[in-house]
Amino acid sequence: MEKTKKTIKGGTYEGERALFMLKDASIDGAVFQNGESPLKESANLIVKNTTFKWKYPLWYANDIVCENITLTFEARSGIWYTNRIKMNKCLIEAPKTFRRASFIELEDVDMPHAEETFWSCHDIKLKNVKVKGDYFLMNAENIEVDNLVIDGNYIFDGAKNIVIRNSILNSKDAFWNVENATVINCKINGEYLGWNSKNVTFINCEISSLQGLCYMDNVKLINCKMLDSTLTFEYCTNIDADIIDVVPSIKNPTSGVIRLKGVDELIIDENTRAEENDVEIIYK
SS (H, E, C) 167-236: CEEECCCCCCCCEEEEEECCEEECCCCCCCCEEEEEECCEEECECCCCCCEEEEEEEEECCCCECECCCC
- Which residue(s) pair with 181 in the sheet? 162, 200
Task: Kindly tell me the sign of the dihedral angle through the C-alpha atoms of 71, 75, 76, 80.
Answer: negative
Residues 59-110 have pLDDT tens digits of 999 999 999 999 999 999 999 999 999 999 999 999 999 999 999 999 999 9
Average pLDDT, the chain: 97
| N-terminal to C-terminal alpha carbon distance within the chain | 55
Q: Collapsing DSSP states into helix, strand and coil, what is residue 128?
A: strand
Q: Which residues contact 224 (CB under 8 A, 6 or more apart)?
A: 202, 203, 204, 205, 206, 207, 241, 242, 243, 244
Residue 204 confidence (pLDDT): 98
Residue 277: CB atoms within 10 Å: 7
Residue 5 confidence (pLDDT): 82
Contact 35, 17 (CB under 8 A): yes
pLDDT at 277 over 90: no
The pLDDT-based confidence of 1 (bands split at 50, 70, 90) is low
Residues 149-165 have pLDDT tens digits of 999 999 999 999 999 99
Residues 237-255 have pLDDT tens digits of 999 999 999 999 999 999 9
Residue 2 confidence (pLDDT): 62
pLDDT at 46 over 90: yes
The pLDDT-based confidence of 276 (bands split at 50, 70, 90) is confident
Residues 177-212 have pLDDT tens digits of 999 999 999 999 999 999 999 999 999 999 999 999
Whether domain 62-283 has CATH 2.160.20: yes
DSSP state at residue 237: B
In whole angstroms, give the CA distance from residue 271 to residue 264: 20
Domain locations in the chain as residue ranges: 62-283
